[in-house]
């Protein structure tokens, strides 16, 4: 895909949405508002101020409105205020369920893997889910551009329901991991389509407020999953933690069937009826999606198996690395020539969009290194139950909500997008430094407080970036830009869990052999690597030694997060963003 055309090359009507009709002139955060000659846009080109006569409500292509409709509803897509809130409310509810599932897995994975006697396979519970979610989200955007949003949204919801049920009834660790992988396809689809439909319906100059609502649902779902996930595992059993998700998703599916407008999306197929669906399908980057999944899967296999399950010199470990090294360059080659790439290189290498995408990539990597392994710290080092360790994540999740909502409202009120991004990056860095500095007998409540800056940084950073990448993108690119950002965030999640697992498991092997001594030491090491709960039943001497090994391993993991957060923060140094314009009443 070619980069968006320059405003000066194509006239006043082909500006980025931030500067397009319907917005008061955007002004740089680094320049005074009254600059008489306008300002420079983000590509370094001179941009004059908007003419007053150009200021009209901005509408997506394909939408048609009368003056009466414009006065009745402030939303796009031809929907009334009441219908919008039904649609948007169901999207927020879906975010709540998905985030509940996400933090539920973080607090319950020691229980599930211990049930199957497979604690050393813990990372696969999340990475299998994120792998499919990551690889196919951009494809959802491309297909929905062609046939409309509704069919893809309904397909993803049905897929999510069926695969969540599969998770609840899985009878082996292999079946459970496969169920999580299939569930990732459905969950990734509903999250992508929910975000895209919100972009279709909400004008960008007020989108910060609605991003705050999504962040509220995101944070509340995360807090409930963290607080009650362990409790549900201990009281009802881990299978019911998935079973209780099915009824609300079925309700959302029913709402979506009757309320989602069929007109949402560009409907490329409808605009070009001379082509068959098969001809349109030929334009989709199926090979790119496949190569993306293969590349990430074998990278994760290399990171997860090496030194943990197999020696680094094992043929399967080396083979996984070789396949990654072959498929990754091939992926870049295919994407550079695809008509509708799932990973548009032009967006990744354009400033400032690419920089912000990679900032979020490293950010999510660091966030998930910490959040995924924090419950393990409380269960393996502090010997807390799944319920108690889950409650420890409730406060960080609540602060994620508060900061996410605050960041969205700040964007709408001030139009400043860069400040929350910088502040979020630095707060997360400070939190990782605090976590890596924890001493042997630190109180559990203080360790919980050290986790809080990680969630606060995420809450500040992500809403601002979500709005910023859209603000500097052309209208036609917004759907794929949304999923590109989500794609790289998801890649950060996958690699964060995988790299964190790599560090923990390999360090744990070394520290267990160094610290655990005495009779039956090898048996003890094998036992605690299979089940975290086994630590509580060890003799005091061996229990203390195992706790020291887990503590040292997790400290090294948190130090890894410091390095990643430093990279994330440095990426924002050259970024300059204009101030988001305010919508003018008509």
Predicted pLDDT at 326: 96
Tell me how many degrees the CA angle 460-463-465 measures, rounded to the nearest 5: 100
Predicted pLDDT at 447: 93
Does residue 218 surpass a pLDDT of 80?
A: no
Q: What is the dihedral of CA 273, 279, 283, 285, to 10 degrees?
A: 130
Position with higher pLDDT, 394 vs 367: 367
Predicted pLDDT at 287: 86
Q: What does each C-alpha distance from 79 to 60, 73, 74, 76, 257 come to in angstroms?
A: 13, 7, 9, 7, 15
CB 509 within 8 Å of CB 308: yes
Of the listed ranges 315-319, 437-441, 490-494, 507-511, the one predicted with least confidence: 490-494
Position with higher pLDDT, 584 vs 454: 454
Mean pLDDT of 238-246: 91
pLDDT tens digits along 370-409: 988 898 899 899 998 877 887 787 788 888 888 988 888 8
Mean pLDDT of 526-539: 86
Instruction: Name the token pair of 464.
Output: 């601002």
Backbone angles phi, psi at 562, to 5 degrees: -60, -50
Torsion sign, CA atoms 375, 381, 385, 388: negative
Distance CA 102, CA 86 (A): 24
Superfamily, domain 81-261+277-285+338-511+556-571: MFS general substrate transporter like domains (1.20.1250.20)
Give 113-134 as a 3 state SS string. HHHCCCHHHCHHHHHHHHHHHH
Strongest mean pLDDT among 1-15, 337-351, 367-381: 367-381
What burial letters (b/e) apply to 41-79, b meaning 16+ CB within 10 Å? bbbeeebeebeeeebebbbbeeeeeeeeeeeebebbbbb
Q: Which residues, in sequence order, are CB contacts of 124 under 8 Å at separation 6+?
A: 177, 180, 304
Predicted pLDDT at 20: 35
Closest residue by Cα to residue 137 from 470, 474, 485, 493: 485
Predicted pLDDT at 467: 87
Does residue 8 surpass a pLDDT of 60?
A: no
Instruction: Name the token pair of 98.
Output: 């998905």
Reported confidence tier of residue 557, pLDDT bands at 50, 70, 90: very high
What burial letters (b/e) apply to 436-464, b meaning 16+ CB within 10 Å? bebeeeeeeeebbebbbbbbbbbbbbbbb
Predicted pLDDT at 443: 93
Distance CA 573, CA 481 (A): 22
Mean pLDDT of 10-37: 34
Backbone angles phi, psi at 267, to 5 degrees: 55, 60
Q: What does each C-alpha distance from 549 to 102, 114, 137, 149 come to in angstroms?
A: 27, 19, 39, 50
Reported confidence tier of residue 158, pLDDT bands at 50, 70, 90: very high
Position with higher pLDDT, 223 vs 473: 473
Distance CA 533, CA 165 (A): 26
Predicted pLDDT at 301: 80
Burial of 315 from C-beta contacts in 10 A (0-12 / 13-18 / 19+): exposed
Q: Which residues, in sequence order, are CB contacts of 522 under 8 Å at separation 6+?
A: none
Over the chain, what is the mean pLDDT? 79
Distance CA 480, CA 537 (A): 52
Mean pLDDT of 256-284: 77
Mean pLDDT of 185-204: 85
Predicted pLDDT at 581: 66
Q: What does each C-alpha distance from 419 to 29, 64, 411, 554, 575 come to in angstroms?
A: 9, 36, 10, 31, 11
Instruction: Name the token pair of 334.
Output: 């295919």
Q: Please name every residue paired with 28 in a beta bridge, in sequence order, or none if there are none.
A: 578
CB 482 within 8 Å of CB 142: no
Predicted pLDDT at 582: 55
Backbone angles phi, psi at 413, to 5 degrees: -75, -40
Residue showing tokens 């519970």: 125
The DSSP code for 202 is: S
Predicted pLDDT at 126: 74
Does residue 16 surpass a pLDDT of 80?
A: no
23 SS3 class:
strand
261 SS3 class:
coil
Predicted pLDDT at 586: 36
Predicted pLDDT at 277: 65
CB 113 within 8 Å of CB 122: yes
Does residue 2 surpass a pLDDT of 80?
A: no
Reported confidence tier of residue 72, pLDDT bands at 50, 70, 90: low
Mean pLDDT of 344-364: 90
Does residue 14 surpass a pLDDT of 50?
A: no
Please state, as a whole number, how many other Cβ atoms lie within 10 Å of the Cβ of residue 80.
Answer: 12
The percentage of residues in the chain with a pLDDT greater than 70, rounded to a whole number, is: 84
Closest residue by Cα to residue 62 from 585, 475, 484: 475
Position with higher pLDDT, 455 vs 133: 455
pLDDT tens digits along 273-332: 777 767 766 777 788 878 887 888 788 788 877 776 788 888 888 999 999 999 999 999
Reported confidence tier of residue 163, pLDDT bands at 50, 70, 90: very high
pLDDT tens digits along 447-472: 999 999 999 999 999 989 988 988 88
Mean pLDDT of 503-532: 88
Reported confidence tier of residue 584, pLDDT bands at 50, 70, 90: very low
Distance CA 290, CA 478 (A): 23
Position with higher pLDDT, 33 vs 307: 307
Residue 47 parent element (H or E)? strand 46-47
Predicted pLDDT at 220: 82
Tell me how many degrees the CA angle 350-458-96 measures, rounded to the nearest 5: 110
Reported confidence tier of residue 63, pLDDT bands at 50, 70, 90: very low
Does residue 55 surpass a pLDDT of 50?
A: no
What is the pairing mode between strands 46-47 and 39-40? antiparallel
Reported confidence tier of residue 422, pLDDT bands at 50, 70, 90: very high
Does residue 29 surpass a pLDDT of 70?
A: no
Distance CA 17, CA 473 (A): 7
């Amino acid at each position: 895909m070619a980069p968006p055309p320059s405003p000066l090359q194509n006239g006043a009507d082909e500006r980025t949405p931030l500067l397009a009709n319907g917005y008061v002139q955007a002004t740089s955060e680094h320049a005074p508002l009254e600059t008489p000659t306008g300002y420079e846009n983000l590509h370094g080109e001179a941009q004059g101020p908007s003419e007053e006569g150009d200021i009209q409500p901005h509408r997506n292509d394909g939408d048609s409105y009368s003056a009466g409709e414009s006065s009745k509803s402030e939303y796009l897509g031809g929907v009334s205020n009441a219908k919008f809130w039904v649609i948007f409310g169901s999207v927020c509810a879906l975010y709540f369920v998905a985030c509940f599932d996400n933090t539920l897995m973080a607090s319950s994975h020691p229980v599930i893997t211990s049930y199957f006697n497979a604690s050393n396979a813990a990372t696969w519970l999340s990475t299998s889910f994120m792998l499919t979610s990551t690889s196919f989200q951009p494809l959802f955007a491309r297909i929905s551009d062609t046939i409309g949003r509704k069919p893809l949204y309904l397909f993803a919801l049905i897929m999510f329901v069926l695969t969540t049920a599969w998770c609840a009834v899985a009878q082996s660790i292999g079946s459970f991991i496969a169920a999580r992988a299939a569930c990732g396809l459905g969950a990734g689809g509903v999250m992508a389509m929910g975000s895209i439909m919100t972009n279709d319906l909400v004008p960008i100059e007020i989108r910060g407020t609605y991003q705050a609502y999504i962040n509220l649902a995101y944070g509340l779902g995360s807090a409930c999953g963290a607080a009650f996930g362990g409790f549900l595992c201990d009281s009802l059993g881990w299978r019911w933690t998935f079973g209780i998700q099915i009824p609300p998703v079925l309700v959302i599916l029913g709402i979506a069937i009757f309320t989602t407008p069929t007109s949402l999306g560009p409907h490329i197929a409808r605009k070009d009826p001379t082509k068959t669906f098969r001809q349109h399908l030929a334009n989709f980057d199926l090979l790119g999606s496949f190569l993306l999944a293969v590349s990430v899967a074998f990278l994760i296999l290399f990171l997860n198996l090496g030194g943990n399950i197999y020696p680094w010199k094992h043929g399967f470990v080396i083979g996984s690395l070789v396949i990654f090294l072959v498929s990754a360059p091939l992926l870049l080659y295919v994407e550079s020539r695809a008509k509708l790439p799932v990973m548009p290189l032009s967006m990744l290498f354009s400033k400032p969009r690419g920089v912000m995408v990679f900032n979020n990539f490293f950010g999510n990597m660091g966030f998930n290194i910490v959040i995924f392994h924090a419950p393990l710290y409380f269960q393996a080092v502090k010997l807390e139950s799944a319920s108690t360790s889950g409650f420890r994540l409730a406060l960080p999740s609540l602060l994620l909500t508060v900061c996410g909502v605050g960041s969205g409202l700040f964007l709408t009120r001030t139009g400043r997008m860069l400040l929350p991004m910088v502040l979020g990056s630095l707060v997360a860095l400070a939190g990782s430094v605090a976590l890596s500095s924890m001493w042997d007998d630190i109180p559990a409540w203080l360790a919980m407080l050290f986790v809080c800056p990680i969630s606060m940084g995420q809450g500040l950073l992500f809403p601002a970036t979500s709005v910023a990448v859209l603000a500097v993108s052309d209208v036609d690119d917004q759907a794929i830009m949304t999923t590109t950002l989500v794609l790289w965030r998801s890649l950060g999640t996958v690699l964060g869990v995988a790299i964190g697992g790599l560090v923990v498991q390999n360090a744990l092997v070394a520290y267990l052999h160094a610290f655990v001594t005495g009779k039956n030491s090898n048996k003890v090491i094998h036992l605690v690597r299979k089940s975290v709960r086994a630590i509580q039943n060890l003799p005091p001497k061996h229990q203390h030694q195992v706790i020291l090994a887990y503590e040292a391993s997790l400290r090294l993991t948190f130090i890894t997060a410091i390095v990643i957060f430093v990279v994330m923060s440095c990426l924002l140094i050259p970024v300059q963003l204009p101030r988001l314009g305010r919508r003018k009443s008509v």
